[in-house]
Amino acid sequence: MDPRTLETPRLLLDESRMLANVERMRAHLHGLGVPLRLHVKTAKCIDAARPAMARPEGPIAVSTLKEAEYFFDHGVTDILYAVGITPNKLDHVLDLRRRGVRLAVVLDSLDAARLVAEKARAAHDPVDVLVEIDCDGHRSGVKPEAPRLLDIGRHLHEHGATLRGVMTHAGASYDCRTTDAIRAMAEQERAAAVRAARRLRMIGLRCPVVSVGSTPTATFAAELTGVTEVRAGVFVFFDLVMAGLGVCRLDDIALSVVTSVIGHQPEKGWIIVDAGWMAMSRDRGTAGQAIDQGYGVVCDIAGRVIDDLTMVAANQEHGILARRRGSTRPLPDLPLGTLLRILPNHACATGAQFDRYHVLRDGKVADVWARFTGW
Amino acid sequence: MDPRTLETPRLLLDESRMLANVERMRAHLHGLGVPLRLHVKTAKCIDAARPAMARPEGPIAVSTLKEAEYFFDHGVTDILYAVGITPNKLDHVLDLRRRGVRLAVVLDSLDAARLVAEKARAAHDPVDVLVEIDCDGHRSGVKPEAPRLLDIGRHLHEHGATLRGVMTHAGASYDCRTTDAIRAMAEQERAAAVRAARRLRMIGLRCPVVSVGSTPTATFAAELTGVTEVRAGVFVFFDLVMAGLGVCRLDDIALSVVTSVIGHQPEKGWIIVDAGWMAMSRDRGTAGQAIDQGYGVVCDIAGRVIDDLTMVAANQEHGILARRRGSTRPLPDLPLGTLLRILPNHACATGAQFDRYHVLRDGKVADVWARFTGW
């Protein structure tokens, strides 16, 4: 099918770009001698995830138990649920484990360790647990030097759960200003996780897993001694935030929203399209970067960037395209019905607005892959 | 079902608040003598829409043809597709009309009028068209005094389509600073639509429909002489943006996201919950208002606002709760697993992140209503 025949808006996935992104990360991590645990929160689709997975059974990381259910239904059994566990999800976790998922949970408090250990003992299931480490002050986790890290580890070990290891995520890498800063953040992430694991081992606990990751740090990590796995997900598609960080080029971005011109407001300097924030998402992740890309960078339907044209504002189903501030270029001639592609700020957020990918292969929409959202 | 047993995050709909919101708008518009054309882009669910609809067959406004398909499947036949029509949707529009939908489309250019008229003539279907009027410079539309308004009307009339009337939307009402300003904007919206209709009638064209609306202007309109219908949708649920505008109170907001405490970072002043931007959406509509509500206002599970606590930051599946800047209150004691409700910035955006409503009736989750997203 010609992408020009799509009823807009639609989510387009450029398969060759995706496969190149996957191969680049694979080669990089292979060189560092560390396997990837693909984070599937970006793709939420078995067809898009599979090329990045070493084996059909995983490993993967998930951000929701719905992702765990879906990927288990598609044959994946090695799954890390990478969001702090909460009481109302434990029965669901135990049920997934009973059904054959090697599902590990994450926690960062003694309260949570008590809860998980109690449930594990009652269910006669030594639930696998990773302790979350705070490597950058960005979100959750235990500081690697915190006394409670050892209390948590000891409690899990002594009361019926399995301390599998530690995990951390350098979310602060998204705020780095240079690739050197990302490289330093990768080392900070590695060092925090390795240090935490060492402390647990020093008191006699096994701690086989040392899990780190974010797409920026995974991309720029120079060495990963002591790390046993890297988690990343956005690199499969990339997006404008990653391009702004220097993690990819605009031409690497595999995801775009196909949209149609529905109107012109020449006196305002605007072209109106039928992709608004419902299609692009409300993510404005480039707003704090050196180049603010608005709601997205505008390309022609072949995927070539149109210079100085971005989506500067968005209503629910209307996008407003305009020249960048300071641009001297006139508005391009894009008649009613012209099809365009918009590169998104954030692949996870834009992807989540759609229930399928239209897969571009050799210039044609060669496949439609279902994806899911929700909990 | 007790809402405390939900696996979080989940979308909760307080039915009594919703019905009160619907009744208030109904009484107000009844007093003004103008019927409502419910905009279903907010609810995207027949059960949530029906109480606000005068009759099972409509009228409604939709923002996507998927909404038109869904509501037609549920018996609605009087539908306005309120986003500028584009060539790749015309066959779909004609198909819906053939199947029995009285579907009207919107346009604001002579190019679009030519296209629609040509299709209408070829299909022997005098497609109903409303011309979009720009009442506030906010988005799309023809200025009421523009010469091309008459050219468009004439072309439609003479070449096979049906000029049904005019429509406008005062999107600028969302940026008003006072309710007096909203009242003035309502009059500006009314006057622009009525003026445009009068000009079309002066050249001998029929123009039976004069359609206006936004939730703020519908709420504060003092009189609607010459208007034949009002479109609004957000009022069914309301949200923090509407509360910030003075259109509703916090206690009127019928939609909230149920979430669990998953961690504590006391040294940072944070409580971490399992609703991030994937649940709340990335909408930061209150950022430009007098009170920035972050990603949402925190309530206890009974719906009582917890003073000075908002979601100040969000990752995909993590929300960070903190006291408002300047608050002297200590962090509340909310142990791991505590259930909370977060009031959203924007009902349309937050609702779109979920595939169902958990309907709260007499303190219980008494119903689950499916909702849809996408195109």
Nearest residue to B86 via CA among A294, A260, A251, A242:
A260
Side chain identity at A128, as an amino acid letter? D
Query: Does the predicted interface ipTM exceed a cut of 0.90?
Result: yes
Task: Closest CB to B264: pick one of A109, A261, A272.
Answer: A109
CB–CB of B86 and A373 under 8 A? no
Task: Closest CB to B260: pick one of A88, A109, A318.
Answer: A88
Per-residue pLDDT reduced to its tens digit, B190-202? 999 999 999 999 9
**Is A4 a residue whose pLDDT tops 90?**
no
Q: What is the pLDDT of residue A301?
A: 96
**Is A3 a residue whose pLDDT tops 90?**
no
Per-residue pLDDT reduced to its tens digit, B107-130? 999 999 999 999 999 999 999 999
Q: Return the CATH number of A34-233, one of 3.20.20.10, 3.40.1260.10, 3.40.47.10, 3.40.50.300.
A: 3.20.20.10
Distance from the B180 Cα atom to the nearest Cα atom in chain A, whole angstroms: 24
CB pairs below 8 Å between A and B: how many?
171
Architecture of the domain whose range is B34-235 = Alpha-Beta Barrel (3.20)
Handedness of CA A193, A198, A203, A206 (dihedral sign): positive
Q: What is the pLDDT of residue B2?
A: 87
Distance from the B308 Cα atom to the nearest Cα atom in chain A, whole angstroms: 20
By C-alpha distance, the chain B residue nearest A315 is B139
DSSP class of B91:
H
> Which pLDDT band holds residue B4 (cuts at 50, 70, 90)?
confident
By C-alpha distance, the chain B residue nearest A65 is B7
Task: Closest CB to B139: pick one of A139, A282, A315.
Answer: A315
Structure tokens at A61: 């990381």
CB-based contact B322:B269 (threshold 8 Å): yes
The fold for domain A3-10+254-370 equals: Lyase, Ornithine Decarboxylase; Chain A, domain 1 (2.40.37)
Q: Which residues contact B50 (CB under 8 A, 6 or more apart)?
A: B56
* Long-range contacts from B26-32, C-beta under 8 angstroms, 24+ separation: B26/B52, B28/B218, B28/B219, B29/B218, B29/B230, B32/B221, B32/B223, B32/B224
Q: What is the pLDDT of residue A2?
A: 87
Q: What is the pLDDT of residue B3?
A: 82
Domain boundary assignment for chain A: 3-10+254-370, 34-233
Per-residue pLDDT reduced to its tens digit, B198-254? 999 999 999 999 999 999 999 999 999 999 999 999 999 999 999 999 999 999 999
**Is B5 a residue whose pLDDT tops 90?**
no
Give the separation between CA B309 and CA A315, rounded to whole angstroms: 28
- The residue behind tokens 């008229």 is B117
Q: What is the pLDDT of residue A136?
A: 97
Distance from the A287 Cα atom to the nearest Cα atom in chain B, whole angstroms: 13
- How crowded is residue B162: how many other Cβ atoms within 10 Å of its Cβ? 17
| Average pLDDT taken over every residue of chain B | 97
Cα angle B55, B59, B60 (rounded to 5 degrees) comes to 120
The model's pTM: 0.97
**Is A5 a residue whose pLDDT tops 90?**
no
CB–CB of A86 and B268 under 8 A? no
CB–CB of A274 and B86 under 8 A? yes
CB–CB of B83 and A278 under 8 A? no
Element (H, E) at A165: strand A162-168
Rounded mean pLDDT, A68-86: 98
Cα angle B197, B40, B243 (rounded to 5 degrees) comes to 90
By C-alpha distance, the chain A residue nearest B261 is A86
Per-residue pLDDT reduced to its tens digit, B93-108? 999 999 999 999 999 9
Rounded mean pLDDT, B132-142: 97
| DSSP alpha helix (H) spans, A101-142 | 110-123
**Is A1 a residue whose pLDDT tops 90?**
no
Q: Which residues contact A365 (CB under 8 A, 6 or more apart)?
A: A1, A2, A3, A6, A12, A358, A359
**Is A19 a residue whose pLDDT tops 90?**
yes
CB–CB of A262 and B354 under 8 A? no
